[in-house]
Amino acid sequence: MPALVLLGAQWGDEGKGKATDLLGGSVDYVVRYQGGNNAGHTVVVGDQKYALHLLPSGILSPGCTPVIGNGVVVDPSVLFSELNGLNDRGVDTSKLLISGNAHIITPYNVTVDKVTERFLGKRKIGTTGRGIGPTYADKINRVGIRIQDLYDESILTQKVEAALDGKNQLLTKVFNRRAIEVGQVVEELLGYADRLRPYVADTVLVLNQALEQDKVVLFEGGQGTLLDIDHGTYPFVTSSNPTAGGACTGAGVGPTKISRVIGILKAYTTRVGSGPFPTELFDEDGDALRRIGGERGVTTGRDRRCGWFDAVIARYATRVNGLTDFFLTKLDVLTGWEQIPVCVAYEIDGRRVEDLPYSQTDFHHAKPVYEYLPGWSEDITKAKSFSDLPKNAQDYVKALEEMSGAPISAIGVGPGRDETIEINSFL
């Protein structure tokens, strides 16, 4: 059954855009199932570089239908500016489908995100400030606004009233901000309705029918496993489920339909925002990874925190997602180190721990236990097959594969579409 999930196996920014785009030419549908414009995919096609935040990467592949599933949160103004940007560059975006059940990131959700972070001070999460958490909070509190609500003004007004009731109390009495007017919000939201209408569809039906007809459907995760609200480093996480199960709830397909779950794994580790990160480097190696790997957020422009590869996390990602394969990205960034440390376990209060600790306290105390693998200095960006890689690079990949618990089926050796070594086909 040709339904694949492709997701981040670390803290996001593993290079998912490239992996999705690589498959994009041979898949019929690319579906986002969670998150919103907090994501950032960079896709390089020829000499063109595209930065996508909300739209599925499949939008760049002619013949592929991009889908925004019910589990995604949509900021219409961001959606339109992303569509305009692509249209200006000649990309056809007319096939896009958006679930009527997807929730809308309203202007007050963005305000609440920013105000809450400021209020948290040094305990802040380091969110992207795009209103993601407050929008999911409204969804769970059953005061969210869905895309379908834009087509019934009376319902929309009642829902915005319900959502703003408590929030205005908070904004004025706790955060010392001005109250937000219902009428103004309703007017802004209604202003999006006409342009959105052609894209709105029953995406659950569309995707299930596509699967019945043996079409290839790719579910594209935003963020990464360790940012999952349930399985990540809570509370330093995003507010949705990037892990594989999220594809089922966020797109409305049953788990029996998923045939393959591919984890995107960077050859080293990065994270943005706050929270524990055992292999984080604060020295010139960290600076070098950041510089060579171009580790700067596509969405926020923030420098990413950088560290060595962490096999404990990779093993955890294999388990919690049921990964069938890995796509190892950015191997070329590691060229030039004499020795490359790889974290094989943690030391926590004097104990050696092989698996991700379930207690937040333990994870905060985890110190990496490193094994040192020999590096390579040869340029690997032109490698087309595994055997083209220098012996030490081959051994590095094999060691990661063994430690991580799933086969590495593709390796990224440069940012371009063709700078990839395919070992096993994903389709």
CB of 367 to ligand IMP, least distance (A): 22
Q: HSE on the CB side for 148, CA within 13 Å? A: 8
Active-site residue, selected from the candidate residues 13, 75, 149, 310: 13
**How far from 291 is each of 89, 130, 303, 396, CA to CA, in Å?**
29, 26, 10, 21
Catalytic residue check, 365: no
CB of 257 to ligand IMP, least distance (A): 26
> Contact with ligand IMP (CB under 6 A): which of 65, 106, 128, 279?
128
> Contact with ligand IMP (CB under 6 A): which of 38, 70, 269, 420?
38
Determine if 127 is a binding residue for ligand IMP (CB under 6 A). Answer: yes
Determine if 263 is a binding residue for ligand IMP (CB under 6 A). Answer: no
Catalytic residue check, 418: no
Determine if 293 is a binding residue for ligand IMP (CB under 6 A). Answer: no
Q: How many Å apart are CA 106 and CA 184, to the nearest integer?
A: 11
Determine if 243 is a binding residue for ligand IMP (CB under 6 A). Answer: no
User: Looking at beta carbons, which residue is closest to ligand IMP?
Assistant: 273
Q: How many Å apart are CA 214 and CA 208, to the nearest integer?
A: 10
Of residues 222 and 414, the one with the C-beta less far from ligand IMP: 222
String of DSSP letters for 173-224: IIS--PPPPHHHHHHHHHHHHHHHGGGEE-HHHHHHHHHHTT--EEEE--S-
Determine if 232 is a binding residue for ligand IMP (CB under 6 A). Answer: no
Determine if 132 is a binding residue for ligand IMP (CB under 6 A). Answer: yes
CA-wise closest residue to 373 among 346, 343, 328, 406: 343
Determine if 12 is a binding residue for ligand IMP (CB under 6 A). Answer: yes
| 364 three-state secondary structure | helix
CA-wise closest residue to 267 among 73, 9, 47: 9
> Contact with ligand IMP (CB under 6 A): which of 18, 32, 130, 146?
130
Determine if 273 is a binding residue for ligand IMP (CB under 6 A). Answer: yes
Determine if 57 is a binding residue for ligand IMP (CB under 6 A). Answer: no
Q: How many Å apart are CA 342 and CA 374, to the nearest integer?
A: 11
Name residues whose C-beta falls within 8 Å of residue 415's C-beta, 6 or more positions apart in sequence: 18, 42, 44
Site residues (vs ligand IMP, CB under 6 A): 11-13, 38-40, 125-128, 130, 132-133, 222-223, 227, 236, 238-239, 272-273
Catalytic residue positions? 13, 41
